[in-house]
């Protein structure tokens, strides 16, 4: 599938940095925590003080392995940490410990469906590295910058794709799938606002049919997937216009400016780096044996697409609903919790996909933290299925569950909402109605049977919607026809 760009096609590769959600940092025991008091989570190792020695966090390696194996990549039995040298205020050591020519993971692919088209984007590598600190520029414009080194040494994986992406929309879909996979694996929260997931993009254009690559530029400062899509669109059009007007694209780094919706060239001294990589002398070669790889592989959870396929066959729900319900692992878990106590998959999917998700969205929380628990939803659905309450009343009960957090049974009892399925209650109501409306009874009996609906409506009104509709229909027919 080729996007429409005036005879040109974009060639896009993405580099994603994902913070691993370990408790402690990658080379020291300092806690990893977002939003802590600045510079409160540091030690001689992550501050890069002379003589401090790094010790590798095994959990960080395991999280990287999870991602590599989940996307079909291979974990190297031996990988090497390297120093990437550059000077920046938020990097106290003057170098970042990363991996260079022997990364922990190679190969694999992220696969996704876009417009009914199956796309596979190959990965070059996944490597482990440490995060830098954060520079804080005062908004009031004071002539200084503060630095918070809490983030120094937070474990990252960098996921580098082949330039297989051919449109900004594909880039967006790739990122959505990547984030979903990281979240399913419980290795990264994927929260871009907190910087847990960050993305840089390489982009060039070439005439459709060409096999060679054009000169590429690098886009940085992309703070959301939407920004990635917009920045790519901007940069693709800029490059095409430049080439069409006889110019040439220069290899450079651009910063996306969300306010002006343009990409600005970084100053020339920051354009190219000579990182002078060399093997980190304070760390031994990372050895990963095949037993360890096998153990991590065996522990991989079922991912979203596999789970959606299973939902369709196991619970008999529609494919669309299965995709909605497996969007996040916690939502899929919620659905399966409901299904452990209820047997109508489609009814549960309908409820969770509409009423529940709307309420969760209103509350602005994650479904896993929502106060209305799956057992209460299962209980409510069972009461609808058995006819104890109508679907309409169920919505009222649910609204009350959202407010009070009470169980359906106590709400139904407290508010007297049980469905009336008792002939001895319904019959007198119907008889009274027929007596009070002789004209309509006569109409019905003369063949104008459309007044039947009028009587049903009156019974429902009298019973505040609680009369069992099937029984009301039967009783009314009997009385009117008899
Ligand atoms: Zn530390």
DSSP code per residue over 313-379? HHH---HHHHHHHTSSHHHHHHHHHHHTS---HHHHHHHIIIIIHHHHHHHTS-GGG-SS-HHHHHH
Average pLDDT over residues 401-425: 88
89 CA to centre of ligand 1 in angstroms = 17
130 CA to centre of ligand 1 in angstroms = 11
28 CA to centre of ligand 1 in angstroms = 5
User: What percent helix, strand, coil does the chain show, rounded to 5?
Assistant: 40, 20, 40
160 CA to centre of ligand 1 in angstroms = 27
154 CA to centre of ligand 1 in angstroms = 9
State the pLDDT confidence band at 419, using cuts at 50, 70 and 90. Answer: confident
84 CA to centre of ligand 1 in angstroms = 19
Rounded to whole angstroms, how far apart are CA atoms 158 and 140? Answer: 34
Mean pLDDT computed over every residue of the chain: 93
60 CA to centre of ligand 1 in angstroms = 15
| Chain-centre distance for alpha carbon 152 | 26
State the pLDDT confidence band at 6, using cuts at 50, 70 and 90. Answer: confident
Average pLDDT over residues 103-131: 97
Average pLDDT over residues 287-311: 98
Rounded to whole angstroms, how far apart are CA atoms 200 and 413? Answer: 57
pLDDT at 388: 83
52 CA to centre of ligand 1 in angstroms = 10
27 CA to centre of ligand 1 in angstroms = 7
377 CA to centre of ligand 1 in angstroms = 45
Cβ neighbours of 229 (radius 10 Å): 20
Average pLDDT over residues 161-165: 98
Rounded to 5 degrees, φ, ψ at 255 are: -105, 125
295 CA to centre of ligand 1 in angstroms = 29
SS3 letters for 102-154? CCCEECCEEEEEECCEEEEEEEEEEEEEECCCEEECCCCCCCCCEEECCCCCC
425 CA to centre of ligand 1 in angstroms = 73
pLDDT digits (tens, 9 = 90+) for 47-84: 999 999 999 999 999 999 999 999 999 999 999 999 99
pLDDT at 442: 92
Average pLDDT over residues 180-204: 95
140/136: higher pLDDT: 136
Rounded to whole angstroms, how far apart are CA atoms 50 and 73? Answer: 37
pLDDT at 140: 81
What is the residue whose two structure tokens read 């929502």?
370
273 CA to centre of ligand 1 in angstroms = 27
CB 235 within 8 A of CB 254: yes
pLDDT digits (tens, 9 = 90+) for 313-323: 999 999 999 99
Report whether pLDDT(270) > 60.
no
Tokens of 466: 């609680």
Most confident of 207-211, 332-336, 458-462: 332-336
Average pLDDT over residues 328-340: 97
94 CA to centre of ligand 1 in angstroms = 16
State the pLDDT confidence band at 274, using cuts at 50, 70 and 90. Answer: confident
57 CA to centre of ligand 1 in angstroms = 12
State the pLDDT confidence band at 308, using cuts at 50, 70 and 90. Answer: very high
152 CA to centre of ligand 1 in angstroms = 8
Report whether pLDDT(1) > 70.
no
Q: Which of 184-188, 205-209, 268-272 has the lowest mean pLDDT?
A: 268-272
411 CA to centre of ligand 1 in angstroms = 52
180 CA to centre of ligand 1 in angstroms = 30
53 CA to centre of ligand 1 in angstroms = 10
30 CA to centre of ligand 1 in angstroms = 4
pLDDT digits (tens, 9 = 90+) for 235-261: 999 999 999 999 999 988 999 998 999
CB 168 within 8 A of CB 60: no
Average pLDDT over residues 288-304: 98
288 CA to centre of ligand 1 in angstroms = 24
Q: What is the DSSP letter of 51?
A: T
pLDDT digits (tens, 9 = 90+) for 363-409: 999 999 999 999 999 999 999 998 888 888 899 999 999 999 999 99
**CATH 1.10.10.410 occupies which residues in the chain?**
423-481
State the pLDDT confidence band at 460, using cuts at 50, 70 and 90. Answer: confident
pLDDT at 441: 92
Average pLDDT over residues 184-209: 95
State the pLDDT confidence band at 354, using cuts at 50, 70 and 90. Answer: very high
Report whether pLDDT(432) > 60.
yes
18 CA to centre of ligand 1 in angstroms = 19
Report whether pLDDT(422) > 90.
no
CA neighbor of 242 nearest in space, from 261, 217, 224:
217
92 CA to centre of ligand 1 in angstroms = 12
197 CA to centre of ligand 1 in angstroms = 21
- Given phi > 0 = left and psi -120 to 50 = alpha, else beta, which region is 253? beta
Angle 356-359-364 from CA coordinates, rounded to 5° = 125
277 CA to centre of ligand 1 in angstroms = 23
Q: Give CATH for domain 423-481.
A: 1.10.10.410
47 CA to centre of ligand 1 in angstroms = 7
pLDDT at 273: 61
What length is written for the chain? Answer: 482
29 CA to centre of ligand 1 in angstroms = 6
pLDDT digits (tens, 9 = 90+) for 199-236: 999 999 999 999 999 999 999 989 899 999 999 999 99
32 CA to centre of ligand 1 in angstroms = 9
């Amino acid at each position: 599938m080729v996007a429409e760009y005036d005879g040109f096609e974009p060639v896009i590769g993405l580099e994603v940095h994902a913070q691993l959600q370990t408790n402690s940092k990658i080379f020291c025991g300092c806690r990893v925590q977002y939003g802590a008091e600045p510079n409160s989570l540091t030690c001689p190792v992550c501050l890069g003080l002379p003589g401090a020695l790094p010790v590798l966090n095994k959990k960080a390696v395991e999280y990287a392995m999870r991602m590599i194996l989940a996307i079909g990549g291979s974990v190297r039995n031996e990988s090497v940490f390297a120093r990437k040298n550059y000077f920046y205020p938020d990097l106290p050591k003057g170098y970042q410990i990363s991996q260079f020519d022997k990364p922990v993971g190679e190969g694999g692919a992220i696969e996704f469906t876009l417009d009914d088209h199956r796309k596979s984007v190959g990965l070059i590598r996944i490597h482990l590295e440490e995060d830098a600190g954060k520079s804080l520029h005062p908004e009031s414009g004071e002539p200084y910058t503060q630095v918070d080194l809490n983030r120094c040494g937070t474990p990252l994986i960098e996921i580098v794709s082949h330039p297989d992406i051919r449109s900004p929309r594909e880039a967006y879909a790739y990122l959505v799938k990547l984030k979903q996979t990281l979240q399913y694996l419980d290795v990264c929260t994927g929260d871009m606002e907190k910087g847990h997931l960050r993305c840089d993009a390489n982009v060039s254009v070439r005439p459709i049919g060409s096999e060679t690559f054009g000169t590429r530029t690098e886009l940085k400062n992309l703070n959301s997937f939407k920004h990635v899509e917009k920045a790519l669109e901007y940069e693709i059009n800029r490059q095409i216009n430049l080439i069409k007007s006889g110019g040439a694209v220069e290899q450079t780094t651009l910063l996306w400016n969300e306010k002006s919706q343009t990409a600005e060239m970084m100053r020339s001294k920051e354009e190219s780096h000579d990182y002078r990589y060399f093997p980190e002398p304070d760390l031994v070669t990372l050895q990963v044996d095949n037993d360890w790889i096998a153990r991590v592989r065996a522990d991989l959870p079922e991912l979203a697409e596999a789970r959606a396929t299973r939902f369709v066959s196991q619970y008999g729900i529609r494919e669309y609903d299965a995709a909605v319900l497996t969007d996040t692992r916690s939502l899929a878990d919620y659905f399966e919790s409901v299904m452990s106590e209820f047997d109508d998959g489609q009814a549960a999917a309908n409820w969770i996909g509409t009423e529940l998700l709307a309420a969760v969205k209103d509350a602005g929380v994650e479904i896993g933290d929502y106060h209305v628990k799956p057992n209460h939803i299962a209980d409510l659905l069972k009461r609808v299925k058995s006819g104890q309450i109508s679907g309409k009343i169920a919505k009222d009960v649910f609204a009350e569950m959202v407010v009070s957090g009470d169980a359906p049974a106590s709400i139904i009892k407290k508010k007297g909402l049980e469905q009336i399925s008792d002939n001895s209650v319904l019959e007198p109501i119907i008889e009274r109605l027929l007596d009070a409306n002789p004209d309509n009874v006569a109409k019905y009996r003369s063949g104008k049977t459309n007044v039947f609906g009028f009587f049903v409506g009156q019974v429902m009104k009298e019973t505040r919607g609680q009369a069992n509709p099937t029984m009301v229909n039967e009783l009314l027919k009997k009385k009117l026809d008899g």
